[in-house]
Structure 1
Amino acid sequence: MTHETDGVAGLLLAAGGGRRLGGRPKALLDHLGRPLVEHAVGVLHAAGCTRVHVVLGAAADAVRERARLEGCVVVENPRWEEGMGTSLRAGLASLAGTGARAALVSLVDQPGIGPEAAARVLAAFEDEESLAAAAYDGVRGHPVLFGAAHWAGVAEGARGDQGARAYLKGRSAAVTLVECGDVARPYDIDTPEDLAHLTPGPQESRPGPPSTND
C-alpha cells in the first residue's frame, strides 16, 4: 500500500440477519470453507487496508466464535434490525479518533467483488474530501470510499436500508466512478437462489434434492 492510502480504513458492514435466507446471518454463510465475513475481511486487507473495522449485528456472538477476525476492530450494532443505515453510522462512529482520513466501505454479501476492484477504488483516495465508488458498466456500486469530511453528512442521512444512497445521489458530480466491471461481479447474496454464487470448501458439498426413498 502506498503512503497516500495509509490513512484509508476498511469498513465492512456484516450485520445482516438474512431475512430472505430464512434468518441465516450473512456473516456466517459458508464460502470457501470459512464464514463469509472472513472472506470479505480478506478482500479489504488484500486491497491494501491495514485497518479494518467490521460491524456485526445478527448472531454477533456466534460470528465472533466461528470467524477469525484477528487484527480487526469489531463493532457491534445493537440496532441492526433497523437496517444497513444503522451499521454504516456505527462503523463510521468507530473510526472517529483513529486518524483514518477515509473509509472504504464494503458489504459482506458481495463475494463477487474481490481485491482488484477494492484496490482500484482505494487508489482513488486523494484527501479527506474524496468521494469514489466502484462502477459496473457505468452503474455505481460497492465498495465506496468516503473521505472523513463526508462522514458526518453520510451518518446523518443513513436511514433504513438506504445507507449512503441519498448522500451520494445528491453529490453525484463529486463522486469519482471507478469502473470495475472487468474484474468483479456485484451480485448480492439475498435469496436462497443466490447461495449458488458461494463456493463450498474442500470438505463440503452442496446438498442435493430431498430423497424420495422411504
Structure 2
Amino acid sequence: MSAPIHATVLAAGLGRRLGGRAKAALEIDGVSLLERLVAALRAAGVAEVDVVVGGPHQAVLTALAARCDTGVIAHRLAAPDLIDSQRLALARHAAEAPGADLMLTVADLPWLTEADLSGLVTTWHQRPPGTEAMRPVVAGTVGHPLLLAAPLTVRLAATGAGVREGLAMLGTRAQSWLCAARGPVDDLDTPEHLAGLRQALAPARVDWPPGASDREADQCPIDELQQNRRSLQAEPQSLI
C-alpha cells in the first residue's frame, strides 16, 4: 500500500519583483492563489497540507492559511529565501510525519490544476520500485510540485541542505513526469507575468487584497534583505 502524501507549500518568498507583495495572496475573482492551490491539492487526494510562512508577509499568510484550514510552519528568519524554506519544510516533515511521502511546491502557480496534480499523484503511486523522487517536466522545463518518498525525505532533512544540494549529496535523481499542461511551470514572478495573467483571465478580477501592499516589504530590515538576495539572484525558482 502506498504511503500517504502530505504537501507543504513554500509561501514565504519576499515577492520583491512584484513590489514586495505576498504572491500567494493574489486573488482571482476574490479567491487567493493559496486557496486555489490548497483546494486543488485536496481534490487530488492530498489531505494534509502545511504552508511555510515568514518574513514581512507572515501575518497576511498566516491569516490566509487559517482560511484554508492548513497547518502553518513559521520561519524565525526575517527574510527567508527558498532554500531556507526547503530546509524548514524537510525538517518539520521528517520530525512530524516521517511515514508520509512529501509533496513540495511553491505557492505562485496560478495555472496549476487539480488535473495536473492528480496526474502526478497517479503516476507517483504507479512508479517503478526504487523511485524516490519525481517532478513534472513540461517541454524540457522542470516544474512543480516535487514528490519525495518518505525515507528520502528523512535522509534529506538529515543533510541540513536544500533540496537540490541534498539530492546531489545523496546521489539521488528525480524521475521526470512528462506533462503537456503549462500549470506546473507557469509561475508568477514579474509584473509581466501578472499582466499576462490579467489579460488571459479577463474579465475576471485579478488583484491584491488589502494587506498585501508593497508597504509590507518596508517592514523587513534592509540588512536581512541584502543577506538573502541570493534567493533572487543565484537560486533558480525550481526546487531542483
TM-score by length of 1: 0.77
Note the C-alpha offset of 1:75: 0.8
1:193–1:45 distance in 2 versus 1, CA, 3 Å: same
1:105–1:80 distance in 2 versus 1, CA, 3 Å: farther
Aligned residue in 1 for 2:146: 144
Q: Which amino acid aligns with 2:113?
A: G
Instruction: Give the match's secondary structure for 1:52.
Output: strand
Q: Take 1:139 and 1:21, find their aligned partners in 2: how far apart are those partners?
A: 23
Is 1:74 aligned to 2:76, yes or no? no
Aligned residue in 2 for 1:64: 62
Is 1:92 aligned to 2:90, yes or no? yes
Does the 8 Å CA contact 2:10/2:104 hold for their aligned counterparts? yes
Q: Which amino acid aligns with 1:81?
A: A
Q: How does 1:47-196 map to 2 (within 5 A)?
A: 47-58=44-55, 59-66=57-64, 68-70=67-69, 72-79=70-77, 81-95=79-93, 96-123=95-122, 124-125=124-125, 130-155=132-157, 156=159, 158=161, 163-168=162-167, 174-182=173-181, 184=183, 186-196=185-195
Note the C-alpha offset of 1:73: 1.0
Q: Take 2:38 and 2:194, find their aligned partners in 1: how far apart are those partners?
A: 19
Identity between Structure 1 and Structure 2 (%): 28
Q: Take 1:33 and 1:153, find their aligned partners in 2: how far apart are those partners?
A: 40
Q: Which amino acid aligns with 2:115?
A: E
Q: Take 1:89 and 1:79, find their aligned partners in 2: how far apart are those partners?
A: 12
- Deviations 1:183-209, CA, capped at 9 Å, x for gaps: 63512211111113255796x477xxx
Q: Which amino acid aligns with 2:134?
A: A
User: What is the RMSD computed on CA atoms of the aligned residues?
Assistant: 3.0
Q: Take 1:80 and 1:100, find their aligned partners in 2: how far apart are those partners?
A: 31
Tell which deviates more after alignment, 169-178 or 35-44.
Answer: 169-178
Is 1:45 aligned to 2:47, yes or no? no
- Deviations 1:136-172, CA, capped at 9 Å, x for gaps: 02332211101122224544364xxxx5234456778
1:157–1:135 distance in 2 versus 1, CA, 3 Å: farther
Note the C-alpha offset of 1:76: 0.9
- For structure 2, the 5+ residue unaligned runs are 208-240
Structure number with the higher helix fraction is: 2
Does the 8 Å CA contact 1:128/1:147 hold for their aligned counterparts? no
- For structure 1, the 5+ residue unaligned runs are 207-214
Is 1:4 aligned to 2:2, yes or no? yes
Note the C-alpha offset of 1:86: 1.1
Alignment: residue pair count: 198
Q: Take 1:14 and 1:66, find their aligned partners in 2: how far apart are those partners?
A: 11
Structure with the larger RCO, 1 or 2 (CA within 8 Å, 6+ apart) = 2
Does the 8 Å CA contact 1:129/1:150 hold for their aligned counterparts? no
TM-score by length of 2: 0.70
